[in-house]
Structure 1
Amino acid sequence: MDRDEILKTNKTYWDSNADLWFGTTALPEYGVKFVTEDDLHLFGDVSGKKLLEICCGSGHSLKYHADKNASELWGIDISHKQIENADAYLKEHGYTAKFICSPMEADMDIPTNYFDFVYSIYGIGWTTNLQGIFNKIASYLKKDGIFIFSWHHTLNYCVAWSCNQRKDVIENDTLIFSKSYFDESYFTMPVDGSEIILCNRKISTYINALAKAGFVVEQMVEQSDNETMEAVRDVSDKTKKAKMLPISFCIKARKL
C-alpha cells in the first residue's frame, strides 16, 4: 500500500476525530486493560529531564511529565487538530511545549543527542517505517537515553471470539485465530464512520528493529491490570479477552 495514501488517510481521521479521543490512552495509562506507570515506574524521576513524545495527541502525557517537573517538553503529531488541542490543554494548566506537526518519519528540526527520554503512548504503531523511526529516535536521544513505547499487542488483532451461525453470539468463551500472526500487510479498518490504515507487526519485528537502531531492551511488559485479572462477574468481552491474552504491550529500551 502506498505510504502517502496511508499517511493521508490516517491524518484525515485524526484531524476529524481528535476531540473524540481527548485525554484517552495517556500516562499514567499505557493501554487498554493494562498496567500503568504507577505500577511499572519505567520513567522514574523525570525532574530536570528533556522529553520528546511521538504522537503526542491531546497533550495529557506531556502534562503528566510537566507535573513531575520535567525541564523541557517536545511533542510531535501528524494531526494539526491534535497539536491545537495539546497546546491549548498545556497552556490551560500553565505549561508549554515545543510542538511539531509532521509525520514522525519526516526530517524535522529536532536536536540530536539531546533528549533524556523519547516515548510514545499507543502511537508508534502508526509509523509507515518502523526501522526508520527507531533510527531517528536513537539519534534524538543522548547516550544511555531511554525510549519507552506502548502499542496494541500483535495477538489482539489475530485472535477473536468464536461465534455461531448467527455471527453475533459468542460460543463458550472460545477464542480462535482469525488471521495469521505472521501477516504484516497493511489493512483498512472502519472507525467512527471513517477509516484508518494500520499493519500488525510481530513482536520480533519491534525487538529486531530496536537492536538494529542501537537499543538494548531493558523491560518488556505484556501484563493485564489487576482489576481485569481479578474480575469475576458481569465482565465485558474485552475484559474476558484481556484475561486470556495481552491486549497491549510496552517496551523500555536504552540507547547504547
Structure 2
Amino acid sequence: MNTESLRVNKQSWDEAAERFYGRNPLPEYGPLAPTEDELKLFGDVRNLKMLEIGCGSGHSLKYLDQRGAGELWGLDLSITQITAAKALLENAASPVRLFESPMENNPGIPADYFDIVFSIYALGWTTDLEKTLSNVHQYLKPGGLFIFSWEHPMYNRIRAKGGVLLMDKSYHEEGSYQHEAWSQPAIMQQYKLGTYINLLIENDFKIEKVVEDVSLSDEDIQRHANRWYSYDKAKALPAAFILKSRKS
C-alpha cells in the first residue's frame, strides 16, 4: 500500500467531492456504458447485505435501498464523500454503516458477511489491487457476488486527434499514473484487463460476466461528452468495462 498516493488522493477527493456528487451512480456503471437496468447483474437485492467499495456520495447505495436491500455498508477514502453519503442516506429504509477508509484497509468490516460487494468506477484508485481483492473475498459470504466497473484499460492508451485514433501508450505498461483529465493531483493505477481477471482467479473468484459494450444513445452522448469521454473514441473502443464474479 502506497501511503503517499493515498495521502494525495484523499486530499484530491476531499477537494473534488462536490463536483462528483451523484456522478454516474447505479443504475449507471460509468460513462457511455450499459446500465444495470439493461444488464441486471445484481438481480433481486431484497433483504441482501450490500457493501460498496468507494461509495462516494452514497447514490448507488440509495438506489439499492430503494430496491429493498437489507443492509447498506460503504467505505470511501474521502471524509467529504462519507459526510455527503451519511446525509443522503439519513432516511434510508435499510440500516446503514459507512467508513472513512482506504479500500486497501479493513476498518472493521465483518468477514463472510455480505451477499454482494460492489464498486462503481472506483477500483482503479486502489494502490494495491491484490490486497483490495483479498479484502473483498474476505468480506463476502461463500457464493457471494463481486461486481465492479472501471475505465477500460484501452481507453486511456488511445487518443482521438483530428478524427484519427492514435495509440500513444503501450497496453503492456502497468502501474501508477496521473490521469490527465483529473484537475487536482491524483494517482490512479493502470492494469491490463487480464490482470484484473487473473488476480480475481488467484483470489478464488469465479468469473461470470465481462462486459465491454458501449451505450451511444443521444442521451448518453449528451450526458457524458467532455474532453475525455467522447463519441469519437467510444464508437471504436469501450470507455468502461464491467466484471461480475462470485466467491468460490
How far, CA to CA, are the matches of 1:71 and 1:196 in structure 2? 35
Q: Specify which of 176, 182, 199 is matched with residue 166 of structure 2.
A: 176
Q: Secondary structure at the match of 2:108?
A: coil
Deviation at 1:23, TM superposition (A): 0.3
User: Which blocks of at least 5 consecutive residues in structure 2 are unaligned?
Assistant: none
The equivalent residue for 1:242 is 234
Q: In the TM superposition, what whole-angstrom CA distance separates every residue of 1:67-94 from its partner, at most 9, and x where no partner exists?
A: 0110101000000000000010111566
User: Which blocks of at least 5 consecutive residues in structure 1 are unaligned?
Assistant: 163-169
Q: In the TM superposition, what whole-angstrom CA distance separates every residue of 1:186-229 from its partner, at most 9, and x where no partner exists?
A: 12235564211112100010001000110011000000015169
Q: Secondary structure at the match of 1:194?
A: coil
What is the Cα-based RMSD across aligned positions, in Å? 2.0
- Tell which deviates more after alignment, 105-114 or 115-124: 105-114
The equivalent residue for 2:119 is 120
Return the letter of the residue paired with 2:170: S
Q: 1:93 to 1:113 in 2, by over 3 A?
A: closer
TM-score by length of 1: 0.90
Q: Is the 8 Å Cα contact of residues 105 and 127 (structure 1) preserved in structure 2?
A: yes
5 Å-filtered alignment, 1:79-94, equals 79-91=78-90
Q: Secondary structure at the match of 2:207?
A: strand
Return the letter of the residue paired with 1:125: G
- Tell which deviates more after alignment, 206-215 or 86-95: 86-95
Q: Secondary structure at the match of 2:43?
A: coil
Return the letter of the residue paired with 1:198: M
Matched residue count: 243
Q: Which has the larger radius of gyration?
A: 1
How far, CA to CA, are the matches of 2:220 and 2:69 in structure 1? 35
TM-score by length of 2: 0.93
The equivalent residue for 2:200 is 210
Runs of 4+ in 1 over 4 A off after TM superposition: 92-96, 190-193, 228-231
The equivalent residue for 1:147 is 146
How far, CA to CA, are the matches of 1:83 and 1:198 in structure 2? 20
How far, CA to CA, are the matches of 2:157 and 2:18 in structure 1? 29
Deviation at 1:21, TM superposition (A): 0.3
